[in-house]
Structure 1
Amino acid sequence: MSFVQWRLLPAFFLILVFTLIGAASLAALLFYGEADRWMSYLSSAYLWRVVRFSLWQALLSSVLSIGLAVPIASALMHRQFFGRNALFQLFAVSMVVPSIVAILGIVVVYGRSGWITAWTGIELPLYGLLGILLAHLFFNLPLAVRLLVQAHGLIPQAQWRLALQLGFSRWQAFKIIEWHYIRKALPGAFVLIFMLCFSSFAVVLSLGGGPKSSTLEVAIYQALRFDFDVSKASVLSLLQVLICSCVAMLIYRFSLPLKQDNSVLTLKGYVLKDSAWNKFFDISAIVFALLLILPPFIAILEPIFSPVFWQTLQDEKMWQAVGVSLKIAIPAAILSVVLGLGFVFVARYGHCQPRLEWLAKLVESLGNSILMIPGLVIATGLFLVFRQIGLGFDQGYWIVVWVNGMTALPFVLRALMPVFYQQEKRYRLLYASLGIWGKARFLLEWPIVRGSVAQAFGYALLLCLGDMGVIALFGSSGLLSLPLYLFQLIGSYRLEQGSSVAVVLVVLCVVLFMFSTRIIGGVKRVKH
């Protein structure tokens, strides 16, 4: 074993722990699944109706999110306007804003007594497929835009310079240059968004409107939490893993590799031939994005002027829920970033060794496997493991922390991998020739990568803070997080108090995100 490989042992250990815990969770599901009852579950007409709806809403949500993201991303990359950076920050926050908070904002805007109904007199059927699609667009459209913007950034500078010299119009540049890179990013973006929508929990639980609009994730929760049918939960969990794995393998089978630019030069934008139609198209795309994302945020902050909000601030139970949320989110975010760094160190080493390219691909696939094995499924398996050794819901805190850390891992990897890969490709030979390793290399790289690390930690922190899936399974009077408390208030029709708690949760998310990125990322603003 070489000197560098010895230094990677802690990273390999983290990957091994991650793999063993995931494998133990799946093994527990197989062990507890009673084979003689599987056929009765699999022959249920209700189960296959749930599967069809899960696939249909995930497919619609993914296609709409990506289809709308293409023109929006192109417009944002070609247009410079006042508030552009603020819009990118809004996209970043909307990706990780707690689900239950965003749902409350969507209800205020699109609900039966919401803004749209008050202004137009048209009552939208929010509870059902339409509401689920609106909520998924709110969460996933900004994610798709940012993924496509990253792909856009890989276009070499020489191609834009050549397009300018040849007098390309926006459409010609898109068709000949941009689409070549964007279409390579689409499969990965589609799989990511499809998995998030297929395993959607809080959105479907709140806006589904009944059993007709239920998904497998909700069915697993109901089987374990209300029926305590462990065998049924095991079968449903394994079925969800199987479907997600098949979809991911099918999409990646036809995807094209997306190569990174190794240049150390800063890319410059070039102004292409413009027209009134191009301006109208770009402005329309940007305005649509604003109209979709901004109103729910405004609706969420509206209760701040009501007297109920100030009464809510004196609610001792709410502050206890804030403490529980921080107690879960901070350790889970740290765990997720530490896991992410372990994955990144091993993967980038494999990428630069021709004979170990398979290792890099394996590590990347393993890190993103949580998209195919949703958090509620892992939590169900870990609960069964705990149950086997004599522990139960009372020990749920440790499961909640670990599963939240695992769930945030794909987002952490997407923030860390690009910058770490580029540093390895640019300076690997220089580091090797000068014998720079360990602490010395860390000090050289830290000013460059700290922004990405800060962004990864911020995303993980907000995702864990807004968890509604795992905490709903293990939540109790002693483990009541702020999102779960908000859901209970809404469920008991205490909407004014719930809206006030949502304001507290949003402010907490924004403050924590800014604080974490400033402390870790430094004074320099973290770029998109």
Structure 2
Amino acid sequence: MGAASLVALLRYSDWHSWLGYMQQPYLWRVVRFSLWQALLSSGISLLIAIPVASCLIHRSFYGRAALLQLFSVSMVVPTIVAILGLVVVYGRSGWLYQLFDIHIPLYGLVGILLAHVFFNMPLAVRLLLQGYDLIPSGQWRQASQLGFSRWTAFRWIEWHYLKKVLPGAFVLIFMLCFSSFAVVLSLGGGPKFSTLEVAIYQALRFDFDLNKASFLALLQVSICTLFAVVVYRIAPVNRQDVSLLAVKRYSLKDSFWAKSADALALLVAFILVIPPFLAIFDPVFSPIFLLTLQSAALWKAVLVSLQIAFPAALVSLLLGVSFCVLARFCMARRYLALLPNKIEHLGNLILMVPGLVIATGLFLFLRDLGWGFQSSYWIVVWVNAVMALPFVLRALMPVMYQQERRFRAVYLSLGVRSWSRWCLEWPLIRLSVAQALGYALLLSLGDMGVIALFGSQGLVSLPLYLFQLIGAYRLEEGACVAVVLILLCLLLFYGSTRFIGGRSLVKH
């Protein structure tokens, strides 16, 4: 899909003018900043996530389950809402300045890094927790019997498995940050802090220069592809242990320094994630909040958002399940054993192609067929579904692989196939399916990239409506709309995990 859209856009390109683009100093300044902020964001997110994940594995404390749920929501919270929360906390007259008289230059590289860490540190924690699931119970038991300290266990056990997960997590977060749009558009503060994704948006939205947009898109895809290939080439193979279903962990030798390190890691996580969330709900106590709820434009935007989110989430879930079924089919056949990892990487490669490029290419393709802007709604739905696919795969792939490795021989001996097999596995995978649907719903609900390009009077979603209010300097009303948007996200995520996932909750 991404390749087809890129090809459709390349049809309108003038290849001879690309040499002129490559000689522009502004282009390479944008490329350098895109790489620099993505590398910094990915590195900081993972450096914080490693001790936080280790703490969550070894410590049981009040509110641990709530913190994990908050991490699940924060990594897919609508970008424009999170930005508002960050402005309330770190802005010129924000909480940090009022309480401690500390001023942070929010508009620029620092603000971009803060926003990216807010989104991607929880994502990194969730991915690292999947790495901890690879560790067999026997190794934890031996470590406990030998009196391993936390550092010794991390050095000789945990790191061996985490380094298998880190390359994939680093590539995923790097591509998310490299193709960042709404964060850079809102907190960049000017052309000096622009990224390739913003440059593509400017070429399409303001200039409608398909030639320049296709060049920038191809450049972005090439950089991301090269980066992913290099990382995956040096990354160790990540395999799920056949015996794992629920890993039993044994207590390790504790110390004052271990407790202090865990407390510091949790404190950093709390400071980065919780204040922006609390700031989002501050307008609830404003008198203008009730007036905002009476606005017809608000509820029309809510309806449009739901009309986009539900079809996009269902399509994304269907695509994710199809990828998983195909990967498991290959796992069961020795001559196709190399394909499952390639299929998973294929699902993640969609992040390399900018969503704006996919939408524009699809629009041009449909326009050639005689469909004009009346296809905008379906373009937005389809592109949101495709862009949510990597998150859906991250939720589904580990548990689907696990069931395949555990019960493949039983299924083959009993002749269990297709629907019967799905019915048997449903109680074990329903929570992962619920999380995948929740991620897709929230990502589609909070989309600001594609809807900003194709939005019109009849197609204004909540994020676009919020962005329009902020652009018109109606900040108080915009803050109230942000509360409605985040409440809707929490309601949909809870509904998907509660009604599809069931009452039983797993530790992570």
User: TM-score, length-normalised on structure 2?
Assistant: 0.98
| 1:266-277 equivalences in 2 (<5 Å) | 266-277=246-257
Q: Taking structure 1 as reference, are residues 264 and 113 closer, same or farther at Cα in structure 2, changes over 3 Å only?
A: closer
Secondary structure in structure 1 of the residue aligned to 2:97? helix
My pick for the range that moved more, 430-439 or 461-470, is: 430-439
Q: Which residue of 2 aligns with 1:142?
A: 122
Match of 1:374 among 347, 354, 370: 354
Amino acid at match of 1:449: I
Deviation at 1:384, TM superposition (A): 2.4
Secondary structure in structure 1 of the residue aligned to 2:473? coil
| 1:400-439 equivalences in 2 (<5 Å) | 400-439=380-419
C-alpha separation between the residues in 1 aligned to 2:244 and 2:147? 27
Deviations along 1:361-395, one digit per CA (max 9) or x if unpaired, are 33222211112223222112212223333444442
Q: Is the contact between residue 517 and residue 526 of structure 1 (CA under 8 Å) also seen in structure 2?
A: no
C-alpha separation between the residues in 1 aligned to 2:27 and 2:371? 30
Q: Which residue of 1 aligns with 2:137?
A: 157
My pick for the range that moved more, 350-359 or 173-182, is: 350-359
My pick for the range that moved more, 116-125 or 67-76, is: 116-125
1:48 aligns with 2:28: yes
| 1:216-231 equivalences in 2 (<5 Å) | 216-231=196-211
Q: Taking structure 1 as reference, are residues 146 and 264 closer, same or farther at Cα in structure 2, changes over 3 Å only?
A: closer
| 1:487-506 equivalences in 2 (<5 Å) | 487-506=467-486
Aligned pairs, how many? 508
User: TM-score, length-normalised on structure 1?
Assistant: 0.94
Amino acid at match of 2:359: A
Q: Is the contact between residue 374 and residue 407 of structure 1 (CA under 8 Å) also seen in structure 2?
A: no
Amino acid at match of 2:450: V
Deviation at 1:424, TM superposition (A): 1.1
Secondary structure in structure 2 of the residue aligned to 1:32? coil
Match of 1:243 among 223, 239, 249: 223
1:87 aligns with 2:70: no
Structure 1, gaps ≥5 residues long: 1-20
Deviation at 1:430, TM superposition (A): 1.0
Deviation at 1:54, TM superposition (A): 0.5
Deviations along 1:73-102, one digit per CA (max 9) or x if unpaired, are 111111111111111011011011000000
Q: Is the contact between residue 118 and residue 273 of structure 2 (CA under 8 Å) also seen in structure 1?
A: yes
Deviation at 1:450, TM superposition (A): 1.0
Amino acid at match of 2:353: I
C-alpha separation between the residues in 1 aligned to 2:218 and 2:370? 24
Match of 2:76 among 85, 96, 106: 96
C-alpha separation between the residues in 1 aligned to 2:262 and 2:306? 41
Amino acid at match of 1:154: L
Match of 1:315 among 291, 295, 304: 295
Amino acid at match of 1:189: A
C-alpha separation between the residues in 2 aligned to 1:464 and 1:255? 31
| 1:179-258 equivalences in 2 (<5 Å) | 179-258=159-238
Q: Is the contact between residue 452 and residue 526 of structure 1 (CA under 8 Å) also seen in structure 2?
A: no
C-alpha separation between the residues in 2 aligned to 1:112 and 1:392? 44
Match of 2:12 among 32, 44, 49: 32
Deviations along 1:202-253, one digit per CA (max 9) or x if unpaired, are 0000000011111110111110011111111111111111111011001111
Q: Is the contact between residue 133 and residue 244 of structure 2 (CA under 8 Å) also seen in structure 1?
A: no
Match of 1:68 among 18, 43, 48: 48
C-alpha separation between the residues in 1 aligned to 2:407 and 2:276? 45
Deviation at 1:117, TM superposition (A): 1.0
Q: Which residue of 2 aligns with 1:456?
A: 436
Q: Which residue of 1 aligns with 2:282?
A: 302
C-alpha separation between the residues in 2 aligned to 1:526 and 1:492? 45
Amino acid at match of 1:193: I
Deviations along 1:405-461, one digit per CA (max 9) or x if unpaired, are 000001101111111111111111111111111222121111111111111001100
Root-mean-square deviation (Å)? 1.2
| 1:326-345 equivalences in 2 (<5 Å) | 326-345=306-325
My pick for the range that moved more, 433-442 or 404-413, is: 433-442
Amino acid at match of 2:357: V
Deviation at 1:195, TM superposition (A): 0.2
Deviation at 1:527, TM superposition (A): 4.8
Deviations along 1:445-492, one digit per CA (max 9) or x if unpaired, are 111111111110011000100000111110111110000110111111
C-alpha separation between the residues in 1 aligned to 2:359 and 2:298? 25
Q: Which residue of 1 aligns with 2:422?
A: 442
C-alpha separation between the residues in 1 aligned to 2:419 and 2:130? 30
Deviations along 1:495-528, one digit per CA (max 9) or x if unpaired, are 1000000000010001111112222112223552
C-alpha separation between the residues in 2 aligned to 1:24 and 1:179? 40
Deviation at 1:358, TM superposition (A): 3.0
Amino acid at match of 2:152: Q
Deviations along 1:95-138, one digit per CA (max 9) or x if unpaired, are 11000000000000000011111112222110000000000000
C-alpha separation between the residues in 1 aligned to 2:28 and 2:414? 61
C-alpha separation between the residues in 1 aligned to 2:328 and 2:165? 20
Amino acid at match of 2:355: G
Deviations along 1:37-80, one digit per CA (max 9) or x if unpaired, are 11121211111111111011001000100111111111111111
Q: Is the contact between residue 313 and residue 437 of structure 2 (CA under 8 Å) also seen in structure 1?
A: yes
C-alpha separation between the residues in 1 aligned to 2:340 and 2:257? 45
C-alpha separation between the residues in 1 aligned to 2:425 and 2:167? 31
